[in-house]
Amino acid sequence: MSDTIKEGVDRREFLATVAAAHGAFVLGFWVPSRAAAQSAPAASWDEEPSTPEVNAWIVIAPDDTVTVRIAQTELGQGVWTSNAMMVCEELQCDWKKVRPQYASANRDARERAPEWTLNVPGSGATDPKGGGEPTFGTRDPRGISGIPDSLYRRMRTNAASSVKDGRYYLQLAGAEARERLLLAAAQRWSVPVAELTAKDSVITHARSGRTTTYGKIAEDAAKIPHPHPEQITIKSPDQWTLMGTEQKNLDVPQKVTGKVVYGIDVRLPGMKWAAVKTCPVYGGDVKSVDFDVIRTLPGVRSFVRFPIPDPDLTRGRIFSGGVAVIADSWYQAKMAIDKMPIEWTIPPENAAFNSANMREALLTALDRPGTVRASQGDIDDGFRRAAKIVEATYSTPYLPRARMEPGNATVLITNDRVDIWIGDQSPQETRYSAAKITGVPEQNVHLHLCHLGGGFGRNGNGPQAEHAIMIANANRGVPIHMLWTREEDFVGTTYRAMGMARLRAGLDADGWPIALEVRTGMQADGFGSDASFNTTSRYYVPNYRYTHHTTKFHVPVGTRRGVGQAANEFYRESFMDELARAAGKDPYLYRRELLSRTTLPYKNDMIKALDLAAEMSGWGTPLPRGTARAIALEERGAETNGMATISAMVHTVSISRDGKVRLERVDVAHETGFGLVNPLSVKKQIEGQIIWFYNDAMHQSCSIADGRIVENNFNRFPISRINEDPPQINIRFFPTQHWLIGMGHDRATSVQSGIGEAIFQITGKRFRDLPYSKHDLTWA
């Protein structure tokens, strides 16, 4: 099946090489002993600190440097900074001396979470003093949610949940450490702890005038037993001093000098490179390869053929069989695999899929009875009494994440240990896959986490780790750096499912809806299909029915920024614009009135968002011909009184007569909830999501031909550039009385409906299939 490299180093030899070479390798790598760690260059994945930790999140060095361990992956969302802020707020250390470091996923497999982190303080989403409503899943036998109550609990970086899930225990970790530092100082000075104060890493005993620093007392604090639970409470937002302030991201200086280590930048002694090709039709496999053709090419070492494994081994993250070529450099491996004859076994039923017949299949599914997701009143009666009926069918294409860093991972496997260097949104799951594929227990799998060059979906990682693990497993003892080409990255990824929706409303004589039927359709394994329409209509209608309709396609689907909400809010808000036009009413006031008629718990927050965005935009003031405004509501979770995030945006769009669209201005009204941890990161996330959904609206789609993804690089899958960035983005925050559910992935979905409504206002044409660039947008 595969040749393996003969000259592999064993574990001991490898570590010896590492120890001897540490001075020469600026990137750093795992080091086995405390002594080596002290002399090794500062790398984020050193596991055994030279100073004893205060708790699993916090290490304080004698010079007062505070290392905060981050269990989520920094991929541009600012978690490296916001998680550290939450710890620092309670620890009351000097923010300038805080250094983030990745938490150990290996340790997470070996230790349970401290008991004091297990209970969420307070009483849920509307308690300002509490921890909100973190949502940890229970243990899935395939490791989807990690080991329950494992040390760092959730190490996933997904669903915009890093602040929502992590805030309470990161605040608790800071508070716990602070109390133990104070207890240690009290013990040293033999004074009551109540007489001590802590600020900016300095402990003061005012009565005696004594002071010490965290760095000087940290070693004692490490030995202090856990304090009484009453002493570790978390601050409510009115007590925050660091949280809630705009803080620049701590890693920006490294990002502007090229010094950040992404997975693709990892280099190890003796490392070989692997290039991969997988069957271009999902579900296909390798029939034959002819390695002899490339065997003598420069640098070429061997090849590894990997079939589609048992889905249980990799949680279904491998979609096609493939082959890897291993060489001394990646470019040699890539040139060689391009020349290697490969024949594929392609399932004919998968090769029969194309965009047109898939669209037909979804339309057919919409006509069949679906799964009822919500039903209120009697829609048949509502439609019978309607003065006017409006119906529209919308569609959204398959969309990849297309993050800038192509999939990669570096893996070294020996008989008793697996080491993986990777930027990963789900390290606990990767740990599970590694154990299953190699037979090495999870407790012996070590992940050395790196920054990620864009994420946009937790499955965005898969199956890069699994590919690299399978290749390295066939070459035990040799570090293998597997890197996908951009084209392979399009094949290897999962997609947001192609979707369709048919919305039908009956309006009364005044134009208000008295019946609304929503049908959404996507393949059965698609994610997030119930967002935005579930439980009840966000806009008042007495008779409501929401059904979901499915079919089966072969394209693997996963979570992608915005998940189902991105498509569903496009459908919902586009239809609201169409209803307002049909009713002859202002789209802003129409929405406002329908929100005010509901009994939704956060309806006033939604109305406030609409009012503020409208006011900011100069809603109703005249615009030049060829320019139009559109408004929309964005919400997640507003159907109940749990955690939610609410915003509204007004998009001002111009279109030239030859059909050139420009998003001129975006006015954003966004709630703060009880408090935003880092408002600067929130602004950057909003700006970024405006561009993200602008691309979804205007440019991006992946089509299917003969079962293959057609658009597989940036020449055919366009990414907008700075010349399409809106010249004006205005963001205003307004306070509300609940905790937010997150805002890193589903804001600015309204760019989609907004541009569509502007196209209608300017050109008179209504387009319901994204992206808009495929339509004729000219006007006379």
Question: Residue numbers of the site for another protein (CB under 8 A)?
Answer: 27, 74-78, 248-249, 251-262, 264-265, 267, 298, 329-331, 402-406, 451-456, 483, 485-486, 680, 684, 687-692, 713-715, 719, 721-723, 725-727, 729
Identify which of 36, 548, 484, 479 has the alpha carbon closest to the alpha carbon of residue 275.
Answer: 484
In the complex with another protein, the residue whose CB is nearer, 41 or 114, is 41
Residue 85 structure tokens: 């802020």
- The answer to whether the beta carbons of residues 306 and 471 sit under 8 Å apart is yes
CA angle 271, 275, 279 (to 5 degrees): 150
Q: Give phi and psi for 171, each to the nearest 5.
A: -60, -45
Q: How far is the CB of 181 from another protein (least distance, A)?
A: 31
AA letter at 455? G
- The answer to whether the beta carbons of residues 534 and 373 sit under 8 Å apart is yes
Q: How far is the CB of 330 from another protein (least distance, A)?
A: 7
Residue 316 structure tokens: 């279904």
Q: How far is the CB of 487 from another protein (least distance, A)?
A: 8
Q: How far is the CB of 271 from another protein (least distance, A)?
A: 10
In the complex with another protein, the residue whose CB is nearer, 481 or 554, is 481
In the complex with another protein, the residue whose CB is nearer, 313 or 402, is 402
Q: How far is the CB of 284 from another protein (least distance, A)?
A: 23
In the complex with another protein, the residue whose CB is nearer, 427 or 679, is 679
Q: How far is the CB of 740 from another protein (least distance, A)?
A: 20
Q: How far is the CB of 185 from another protein (least distance, A)?
A: 36
In the complex with another protein, the residue whose CB is nearer, 190 or 715, is 715
DSSP class of residue 209 equals T
Q: How far is the CB of 94 from another protein (least distance, A)?
A: 20
Cis, peptide link before residue 463, omega less than 30° from 0: yes
Give 608's contacts (C-beta < 8 A, 6+ positions apart). Answer: 669, 671, 734, 736
Q: How far is the CB of 323 from another protein (least distance, A)?
A: 19
How far is the C-alpha of 124 from the C-alpha of 640, rounded, in Å? Answer: 13
In the complex with another protein, the residue whose CB is nearer, 138 or 723, is 723
In the complex with another protein, the residue whose CB is nearer, 338 or 349, is 338
Q: How far is the CB of 253 from another protein (least distance, A)?
A: 6
Q: Give phi and psi for 197, each to the nearest 5.
A: -125, 155
In the complex with another protein, the residue whose CB is nearer, 543 or 700, is 700
Q: Where are the beta strands (DSSP E) in 637-755?
A: 645-655, 661-673, 704-705, 708-709, 728-735
User: Is 523 exposed, middle or buried, given 0-12, 13-18 or 19+ CB atoms closer than 10 A?
Assistant: buried
How far is the C-alpha of 300 from the C-alpha of 219, rounded, in Å? Answer: 52
AA letter at 767? F
In the complex with another protein, the residue whose CB is nearer, 256 or 780, is 256
Q: How far is the CB of 18 from another protein (least distance, A)?
A: 16
Q: How far is the CB of 313 from another protein (least distance, A)?
A: 29
Identify which of 572, 536, 561 has the alpha carbon closest to the alpha carbon of residue 750.
Answer: 572
Q: Give phi and psi for 222, each to the nearest 5.
A: -60, -25
- The answer to whether the beta carbons of residues 353 and 318 sit under 8 Å apart is no
How far is the C-alpha of 218 from the C-alpha of 507, rounded, in Å? Answer: 68
Q: Give phi and psi for 50, each to the nearest 5.
A: -80, -20
In the complex with another protein, the residue whose CB is nearer, 134 or 453, is 453
User: If you compute the radius of gyration of the chain from its CA atoms, what whole number of angstroms results?
Assistant: 28
- The answer to whether the beta carbons of residues 675 and 240 sit under 8 Å apart is yes
- The answer to whether the beta carbons of residues 368 and 550 sit under 8 Å apart is no
Number of other residues whose CB lies within 10 A of the CB of residue 272:
25
In the complex with another protein, the residue whose CB is nearer, 64 or 424, is 424
Q: How far is the CB of 40 from another protein (least distance, A)?
A: 18
In the complex with another protein, the residue whose CB is nearer, 95 or 553, is 95
In the complex with another protein, the residue whose CB is nearer, 20 or 26, is 26
In the complex with another protein, the residue whose CB is nearer, 42 or 252, is 252
N- to C-terminal Cα separation, the chain: 64
Q: How far is the CB of 42 from another protein (least distance, A)?
A: 16
Identify which of 418, 422, 427 has the alpha carbon closest to the alpha carbon of residue 409.
Answer: 422
3-state percent breakdown (helix, strand, coil) of the chain, nearest 5: 35, 25, 45
Element (H, E) at 366: helix 355-367
